[in-house]
Amino acid sequence: MEKPEVFDFEKLITAGEVDCACGQKHSTEIKILAVGRGVIEELPGALKKLNVRRPMIVSGPFSFEAVGKKVCETLDKAGIVYSVFVFQRNGSKKIQPNEKAVAEIVKNFDRACDVLLCVGSGSVGDVCKAAATELNVPQLTVGSAPSMDGYTSASASLELNNTKATVSVNAPEGVICDVELMAQAPMRLLWAGLGDMAAKTCSLCEWEMASVIMGEHYCPDTADLVKLCCKRSLSGAPGIPERSLDSVQAVIEGLLLSGVCMSYVNSSRPASGLEHYFSHCWEMMAIARGQEYDLHGIYVGIGAVITLSIFKKLRQLRPDRAHAEKAAAAFDRDAWEARLRSVFKGTAESFIALEDTLQKNDGKKRMQRVDRILENWDKLVKIMEKAPDPDELEATLKRSGMPTRASEIGLCADDVADAFVCSRDTRDKYLTSSLIWDIGYMDEFEAFVKELA
Ligand SMILES: [Zn+2]
Ligand SMILES: [Zn+2]
C-alpha cells in the first residue's frame, strides 16, 4: 500500500490558487487537514491556527463515547475551556439530520464559545455545518469514522419537508482525523467509506461523458487526482475486517482528498454520479415509506456495482436515431408522473415541477441530445471502457466484508428498478440513466438492473 506524494495534505491545502490547464483556477478554503495516528494531539494547535479560543463540542451519543471523551481530555490537558452538547440517545436509532436537530444545536450553543467543534461523521457533520452557518461561527471537525467524503464539503444533506435535500452551507475550516480513534468506529461505517469511494470508478466516467454530451466543464487533472484517491481508498479494503490502521488511513485519506477535489472544481461531478442517485432515491423511498434508511456509503457501493454493470452492457450497444425517435414519440407524460408519485409519494410533486424548468422530456431537446450522443458514440464507449469491470470492483468490496447487492440490505428488484428509472428525474444532473432514456433503451435496462438486485 504505497503512499503517493499527492497525499501530503499540508502541501496540497497551502498551495493556494492553482492555475490549471483546464482553464480554471483551483483552490480550497480548507485551512487544516490532519490525518494519521495520534493527530488528535494537534487539536489545541489547530484551534490556535484558526484564531479561536473557546470551542463548543457538538456530538452524537456514540461518537461522544468513542471520540468525544478523548477530545475533552486533550482540551483539558491544554487548559482550553469548552462547552459540550451531545444529542440524546434515541434507542439504537441514528440522529435524524433534520431542521429540528439543527435548531437544537442553535438553541443549546453556548454564546461564550467562538467555534463549533463537531465530533462525528455523516449526519452529525451535516447538522453541525448547517448550525455553524446559521450561528455564523467557524467549524472544526474531529472525524469519528471514515464513512463518507463530505467532511470538507460546503454542502449538507438534510431531511427537509419529508425528503432528503442537499443544501449549501459553509464548509468546515479544518478536519482532524485520528486513525487510531476512527478505526474503532462501527464496522458498517468503515464499509460505508469504501462504498463512497467505489463511486469514483463510475462518477469520473460519467463526468467526462456529460462534458461530451452536455458541454459541462471537465478537468482531466482533477479527474486523475480523484482516480488516485479511489485507488488509495480501495487498497484499504482487505485490512478493514481486522481494522488495520494502515487500511483505515488509506480509506480516510482518499475520502478527504476526494472532498478537496470537489471544491477544486466547485462541483460534485468528480465524486458523484448515477451510483449516488441510487442512494438518493433509496433514501427518499425509505422516508416516503416511513422506514429507516441505510448508510449513504453502503447504498453508494451497491449503486457503483450496478452502474459499472450498466456501463458494461451499454458499451455493447449501437444506438440509432430511428429507435430514439420512436421512443420520443411514445413518451407518455401521465405514466411518467404516475410512476414518480407511486415511488416517491408527496415528494414526487417537486420532481414533476422541476420538469417545467429542465424540460428534459421535451421531444425536440431530447433529439438534439441524441444527435450529440450518436455523433460521439465511439468517444463515449472509450470513456466507459476506462471504468473497471463490475466483478472486479465487487470482489474488492467483498474483501472488506461489506454488502455489494441490494438484496443483502433488504431492497428488492423493484426498488432497484424504481431508483434506476427515476434517478434522472430527481435533480438536474445528466446521468447515464438520462442517456439511456434519451436513446430509447430504458425498458431493456430496467429489466437488466432488476436482475442485478
Ligand atoms: Zn483543472
Ligand atoms: Zn457520497
Average pLDDT over residues 64-80: 97
Strand partners, 84: 57
Dihedral of the CA atoms 230, 428, 295, 235 (nearest 10)? -10
The most distant pair of C-alpha atoms in the chain lies apart, rounded to whole Å, by 74
Q: How far apart are CA 164 and CA 159, in angstroms?
A: 4
Taking the mean position of all CA atoms in its chain, how far away is CA 177? Answer: 18
Question: What's the 192 CA to ligand 1 centre distance in angstroms?
Answer: 28
Integer Cα distance of 108 and 355 in angstroms: 40
- Grid cell, residue 91, equals 434507542
Tell me how far the alpha carbon of residue 135 lies from the centroid of ligand 2, in angstroms.
26
Ligand 2 centre distance from Cα of residue 170 (Å): 18
For the stretch 299-358, pLDDT in tens is 999 999 999 999 999 999 999 999 999 999 999 999 999 999 999 999 999 999 999 999
Question: What is the CA(368)–ligand 1 centre distance, in A?
Answer: 28
How does residue 160 score in pLDDT terms, banded at 50, 70 and 90? confident
Give the whole-angstrom CA distance, residue 93 versus residue 382: 45
Which ligand has the nearest atom to the CA of 157?
2
- 271-451: what CATH class? mainly alpha
Percentage of the chain exceeding pLDDT 70: 98
- Contact (Cβ atoms closer than 8 angstroms) between residue 212 and residue 379: yes
Q: How confident is the model at residue 9 (pLDDT cuts 50, 70, 90)?
A: confident
The confidence band for 210, taking pLDDT boundaries of 50, 70 and 90, is: very high
20 Cα: distance to centroid of ligand 1 (angstroms): 4
Cell numbers placing 349: 410533486
| Ligand 1 ion: Cβ-proximal residues, 5 Å cutoff | 20, 22, 24, 219, 221
Residue 69 and residue 72: Cα distance in Å, rounded?
Answer: 5
- pLDDT tens profile 216-237: 999 999 999 999 999 999 999 9
Q: Look at residue 163 in the predicted model and tell me its pLDDT.
A: 80
**Class in CATH terms, 31-185:** alpha beta
- Centroid of ligand 1 to alpha carbon of 32 (angstroms): 22
- Give residues whose Cβ lies within 5 Å of ion ligand 2: 196
| pLDDT band of 92, cuts 50, 70, 90 | low
For residue 10, the model assigns a pLDDT of 77
Residue 109's alpha-carbon distances to 115, 246, 341, in angstroms, are: 10, 36, 40
- Tell me which ligand sits closest to the C-alpha of residue 24: 1
Grid cell listed for 237: 479494503
Domain ranges of the chain: 31-185, 271-451
Report the sign of the C-alpha dihedral through residues 85, 89, 90, 92, in that order. positive
The Å distance, Cα 374 to ligand 1 centre, comes to: 27
Query: Cβ distance 83 to 113 under 8 Å?
Result: yes
> Nine-digit cell at 150?
463530505
Inter-CA distances, 66 with 72, 120, 182, 260, 291, Å: 12, 10, 9, 26, 27
Distance 264 CA to ligand 2 centre (A): 17
User: pLDDT digits over 226-268, tens only?
Assistant: 999 999 999 999 999 999 999 999 999 999 999 999 989 999 9
Rounded Cα–Cα distance for residues 117 and 419 (Å): 36
CA of 409 from ligand 2 middle (Å) equals 18
Query: Ligand 1 center to residue 24 CA distance, Å?
Result: 5
pLDDT tens digits along 369-420: 999 999 999 999 999 999 999 999 999 999 999 999 999 999 999 999 999 9
Give me the percent of the chain exceeding a pLDDT of 90. Answer: 89
Ligand 1 centre to CA of 261 (Å) is: 10
Judged against a pLDDT cut of 90, whether residue 445 lies above it is answered with yes
pLDDT at 8 over 90: no
